[in-house]
A and B are shown apart, each in its own frame.
Chain A
Amino acid sequence: MGETSLISIFFTALLIQNVALYYLLGMCPFVALTRSLTTAMGMGAAVIFVVTLTSSANWVIYQILEATGSLIIQYIVFIIVIAACVQLVEMIMERFFPALQASFGIFLPLITVNCTVLFISLKVTTVDNLSYIQTVVYAISAAVGFWLAMIMVAAIYEKLDLIGRVPKGLQGPGIIMVITGIIALAFMGFSGMV
């Protein structure tokens, strides 16, 4: 709805309403995979791809559901579409880009239960009711924002791991949360920007 500019959507999704740091989503892979920069990069890239694909598909489906008055089954259909898309992506990668698929490894199937994917599909349809172009821009920006958050936290964690003396109980998920919290605070500074 409306003519919110694409640039505005891009920056908002990337920095101000960052999916991980503002909406606090995708924490499962966030905590599990930010221990190393390479895995963070891999997961981020996979998310960008899957999110763009699934939100496009779900946008189309949403228009159909709305037109036929069957919005009641929206959640069921969305999650199945997401699972199917992930499967499809995996199959295609296995066939055409086997090396890439091997390096993504376990991340790809994990994306199905990633809250971010479902969230973005829902936000562009039910919550904001964006146009198709806006949806694609939003999806890519949000996913890139997620990736950005992941690599920032991973980079800091790797450094801390090397030189810091983190208390035993705080190591791993605990310190990741603290690092993420600090980055989230920093990102709050972007809010006047757009």
Chain B
Amino acid sequence: MKLKQIFGKKGAKTIKNGVWLEHPISSATLGICSALAISNKVENAIAMSAGVIFVLVLTAVIISLLRKVIPSRVRIIIYMITIASGVTIVDLVLKAYWPTVSEAMGPYVPLIITNCIIMGRAEAFFVQNPTKLSLIDALANGFAYTYTLMTIAIFREIFAFGTLLGVKVTPSGWVDWVVLAAPAGAFFVLGVFLWITRTAAGVEPPAKG
């Protein structure tokens, strides 16, 4: 019993602190951590974004509808069950209707469960707000995630493979920047993306030390 009690209070405080350590713009990028590896093809990025949005919306609806009856101390477990179930559904649907994409994404689909954004929003917003608002918040966060992932994917696919959704778009004689196809390339693209967005938003650099 003690386990569940500590779970509630400490877990919540930690997730709130831990997940939102950073300014919102970089929070959105932290949320795509588990998708970085497959961000080299736009097709995968679309599937991943769709999956995340589905789970976000599902969680938003369920949690906000039940927010008045969820016992506070077990709410983290409830979030986990909801999110894990949503992800299982996404996984099954992908395997059944888009098997090639599912194979390309492999073990990254279940990792949506550990996506900081979903848990973070559930705790910070869905459990405290009515369904309509939660839905809007879910879609907004889903959108932020999508455009970040898609930007990186479009860039990587065009420069590393010369294609967009499988269709060749680069002129002949173009040499692929193969480094962007490798996992290492994702870091560089993300670094540049962060540079641009953070400069544009005038985010203050983190304190020294």
Q: Tell me if chains A and B make direct contact, with any CB pair below 8 A.
A: yes
Q: Which residues of A contact B (CB under 8 A)?
A: 21-28, 30-32, 35-36, 72-76, 78-80, 83-84, 87-88, 90-91, 106, 109-110, 112-115, 117-119, 122-123, 126-127, 161, 167-178, 180-182, 184-185, 188
B85 on the interface (CB 8 Å rule)?
yes
Collect the chain B residues with CB atoms within 8 Å of residue A91's CB: 2-3, 6
Which of B9-17, B44-52, B139-147 contacts the other chain?
Answer: B9-17
A10-B83 Cα distance, complex, nearest whole Å:
32
B184 touches A25 (CB 8 A): no
Please report whether the interface of chain A is mostly helix, strand, loop or mixed according to DSSP. helix
A24 touches B111 (CB 8 A): no
- The smallest beta-carbon distance between A69 and chain B, in angstroms, is 15
Collect the chain A residues with CB atoms within 8 Å of residue B76's CB: 83
B206 touches A35 (CB 8 A): yes
- The smallest beta-carbon distance between A114 and chain B, in angstroms, is 7
User: Whose C-beta in chain A lies nearest to the C-beta of B35?
Assistant: A24
A173 touches B22 (CB 8 A): yes
B191 touches A178 (CB 8 A): yes
User: Whose C-beta in chain A lies nearest to the C-beta of B3?
Assistant: A87
B30 touches A127 (CB 8 A): no
B191 touches A170 (CB 8 A): yes
Q: Which residues of B contact A (CB under 8 A)?
A: 2-3, 6-7, 10-11, 14-15, 17-19, 21-22, 26, 29-30, 33-34, 36-37, 76-77, 80-81, 83-85, 87-88, 91, 106-107, 110-111, 113-114, 116, 119, 179, 182-188, 190-192, 194-196, 198-200, 203, 205-206, 208-209
A76 touches B85 (CB 8 A): yes
Collect the chain B residues with CB atoms within 8 Å of residue A76's CB: 80-81, 84-85, 88
- The smallest beta-carbon distance between A59 and chain B, in angstroms, is 16
The 4 tightest CB contacts between A and B, nearest first, are: A169-B199, A27-B33, A181-B187, A177-B191
